[in-house]
């Protein structure tokens, strides 16, 4: 059987929702882990004054250019060290010659960051926000799919089965075919019924068949399901 209306799409969307949920939770975990590592780094890092000595250009994904500052500083024990920030922006957040505060790992002086919110927290914040968005979308989609499944089950258990005259088969713009049928409701109003898309053209199996069975809600003919079980025979 194939569900029509938005319910069919919602049920298929539930599978997409599960994929979104996986990525959303993964991003939340990744963002949280990144934030914990950043907090640990800040807690154990030494501070030093540094100078921006260059701006390193990076090609953006949309063709633009961002700039990451290269900073030179001297560690507590007098070791001159240079690093390039992991954060780049356009326009650049710093200019050559700017004095900045540096946080560095005493055991690995080249592991350093500029002591600024964007350099330390922007990455985990973005990943966390994206993870939250993906997760919320996924939950909403899965709930819609669950409601659609429950509606479909109730329709199958309590719906009225009617015979609808076959009007034809329509090719879908995105691929697949949908069966179109017509029947009259108890008030004498003509009703059109369209099945969910099927991948193969049902035309050959429609030979000699002038009607199909449709399960309808007696109180709402807009809530229906076209029975395409014959296509699997």
Q: What is the residue-level pLDDT of the chain in tens, covering all 233 positions?
A: 333 344 445 555 667 888 889 999 999 999 999 999 999 999 999 999 999 999 999 886 677 899 999 999 999 999 999 999 989 999 999 999 999 999 999 999 999 999 999 999 999 999 999 999 999 999 988 888 888 888 888 888 889 999 999 998 888 888 889 999 999 988 889 999 998 888 888 878 877 788 999 999 988 888 898 988 888 76
pLDDT of residue 103: 97
Question: pLDDT at position 7, please?
Answer: 45
Rounded CA-CA distance 118/183 in Å is: 63
Q: How far apart are CA 46 and CA 182, in angstroms?
A: 77
Identical fold for domains 44-116 and 159-232, yes or no, is yes
Helix, coil or strand: residue 108: strand
**Per-domain residue ranges for the chain?**
44-116, 159-232
Report pLDDT for 233.
67
CA distance 100 to 115: 8
Per the CB < 8 A criterion, the answer to whether 135 and 18 are in contact is no
Give the pLDDT confidence score for residue 1 in this predicted structure: 39
Whole-model pTM over 0.85: no
Q: What is the dihedral of CA 8, 187, 164, 178, to 10 degrees?
A: -30
- Distance CA(37)–CA(206), nearest Å, equals 63
Beta strands in 155-210 (DSSP E): 160-171, 177-184, 190-194
CATH number of 159-232: 2.40.50
CATH level 3 topology of 44-116:
OB fold (Dihydrolipoamide Acetyltransferase, E2P) (2.40.50)
| Burial classification of residue 32, based on how many CB atoms lie within 10 Å of its CB (0-12 exposed, 13-18 middle, 19 or more buried) | middle
């Amino acid at each position: 059987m194939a569900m029509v209306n938005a319910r069919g799409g919602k049920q298929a969307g539930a599978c997409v929702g599960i994929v979104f949920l996986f990525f959303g939770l993964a991003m939340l975990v990744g963002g949280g882990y990144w934030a914990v590592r950043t907090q640990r780094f800040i807690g154990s890092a030494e501070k030093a004054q540094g100078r921006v000595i260059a701006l390193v250009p990076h090609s953006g994904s949309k063709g633009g250019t961002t700039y990451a500052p290269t900073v030179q500083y001297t560690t507590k024990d007098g070791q001159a060290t240079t690093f390039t920030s992991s954060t780049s922006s356009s326009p650049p957040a710093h200019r050559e010659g700017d004095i900045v505060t540096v946080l560095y790992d005493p055991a690995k002086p080249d592991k350093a960051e500029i002591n600024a919110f964007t350099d330390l927290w922007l990455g985990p914040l973005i990943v966390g926000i994206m993870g939250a968005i993906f997760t919320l979308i996924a939950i909403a989609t899965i709930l819609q799919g669950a409601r659609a499944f429950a509606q479909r089950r109730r329709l199958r258990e309590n719906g009225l089965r009617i015979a609808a005259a076959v009007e034809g088969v329509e090719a879908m713009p995105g691929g697949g075919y949908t069966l179109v049928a017509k029947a009259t409701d108890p008030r004498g109003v003509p009703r059109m019924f369209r099945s969910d898309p099927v991948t193969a053209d049902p035309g050959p199996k429609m030979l000699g068949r002038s009607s199909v069975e449709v399960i309808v809600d007696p109180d709402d003919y807009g809530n229906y399901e076209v029975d395409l079980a014959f296509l699997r025979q």
